Structure 1
Amino acid sequence: MFNDYQDIITVDELCEMLCIGKNSAYTLLATGQIKAFRHNRVWKIPKLAVAEYVYKSSGISSR
């Protein structure tokens, strides 16, 4: 899943991966639904965190 992306992605890539807008992406990050961190003012999002969010949201076990 998401093999075309680096291990750490940007907000723009998150939007592309989930087909969502930036407001929705920032809401997911701010509420902790997708685990990420900020370096200076830039969000760093682990690709695995996005995959976990997708699995959890869809009710599918990731293992």
Structure 2
Amino acid sequence: MRMSEYRGIVSATMMYDAVPVNDVFRKVDAATVPGAMDVRGRRQPFMFALHREGVSRVLPHSR
């Protein structure tokens, strides 16, 4: 894990030794971390979200 710039924003990045993949993470709130799996040679990243169980999420439009 290290910090790297991804699309103009410094983000937490997990870099793998054996495969050409960087997983980039950005924190939204205490329970939500979206990510992008940036695979060398692919035009678009694979997007995903991690959700922590047991923590209530605050959605921007739910207030």
| TM-score bracket, shorter-length normalisation | under 0.3
TM-score (norm 1): 0.24
Larger strand proportion of the pair: 2
Q: Whose radius of gyration is greater, 1 or 2? A: 2
Compute the TM-score of the two structures, normalised by the length of structure 2: 0.24
